[in-house]
Chain A
């Protein structure tokens, strides 16, 4: 079945860039999503990318997609302490349910 993998932890210093990586297996995915989960809360949609795009920029967020390698990344520029959270990669294809990765816990150090 479909599988989405992510590294579980990432630590960065405040002001640096964070890069969270994700790999997926389903080549029929049409959209790939990044969700953010703050402590004690549910997931919230951060951004997404259509599978025929290579890059999408949304303010401090840059999403890169390498469809050939099935690799997705989320770059957060000028990372702030408020960005500390768990970030989930998710793939979505027509006729299928979302498949979520295990989540990457981002810790931002002062």
Chain B
């Protein structure tokens, strides 16, 4: 039971390059999320997916696209990377999107992808 896995762990891009961050979960969760973590700013939600086939914008979606390929996988794409997108990216999953109680709402996080855009 691997939980939430992300690839790659590290990536360096030049401005204007594109790349896709991959995320997969084996907990049969319906909901999946992409966050970015910047120093002093905590985690900010980029996109989320309540269930297979649906995606919605979070707090900071500009410059990103997502695909919920199936129930297990949720990818994040940067079409034209910018230095402002240098960050650590976390994927997470949970069972209910909303309406759970206590520990039911727990989000399970992957180990993160450290992205640098030069």
- Alpha-carbon separation in the docked complex, A95 to B103 (Å): 16
Binding site for B on A (CB under 8 A): 4, 8, 31, 33, 40-45, 48, 50, 88, 92, 94-98, 100-103
Does A94 contact B109, Cβ atoms closer than 8 Å? no
Q: Which residues of A contact B92 (CB under 8 A)?
A: 42-43
Residue with the greatest number of chain A CB neighbours at <10 A, chosen from B42, B92, B99, B105: B42
Known interface pairs A42-B109, A43-B90, A92-B105; A102-B98 also in contact (CB < 8 Å): no
Q: Which residues of B contact A40 (CB under 8 A)?
A: 111-112
A-contact 0/1 string along B30-57, CB 8 Å cutoff: 0001010000111111001000000000
Chain B: interface residue total (CB-CB under 8 A): 25
Binding site for A on B (CB under 8 A): 4, 33, 35, 40-45, 48, 58, 90, 92, 98-99, 101-103, 105-107, 109-112
**How many pairs, one residue from A and one from B, have CB atoms within 8 Å of each other in the complex?**
54
Known interface pairs A42-B4, A42-B110; A50-B102 also in contact (CB < 8 Å): yes
- Alpha-carbon separation in the docked complex, A40 to B110 (Å): 11
Does B109 contact A44, Cβ atoms closer than 8 Å? yes
Does B103 contact A41, Cβ atoms closer than 8 Å? no
Q: Shortest distance in angstroms between A31's beta carbon and chain B's nearest beta carbon?
A: 6
- Alpha-carbon separation in the docked complex, A95 to B100 (Å): 10
Does B102 contact A31, Cβ atoms closer than 8 Å? yes
Does A88 contact B102, Cβ atoms closer than 8 Å? no
Q: Shortest distance in angstroms between B48's beta carbon and chain A's nearest beta carbon?
A: 7
Does B98 contact A101, Cβ atoms closer than 8 Å? no
- Alpha-carbon separation in the docked complex, A88 to B35 (Å): 14
CB-CB nearest in chain A for B105:
A92
Supplied contacts A43-B43, A96-B98, A97-B58, 7 more A-B pairs, CB within 8 Å: A31-B101, A42-B112, A43-B107, A88-B42, A94-B99, A97-B33, A102-B40
Residue with the greatest number of chain A CB neighbours at <10 A, chosen from B33, B106, B107, B109: B107
Q: Which residues of B contact A42 (CB under 8 A)?
A: 4, 90, 92, 109-112
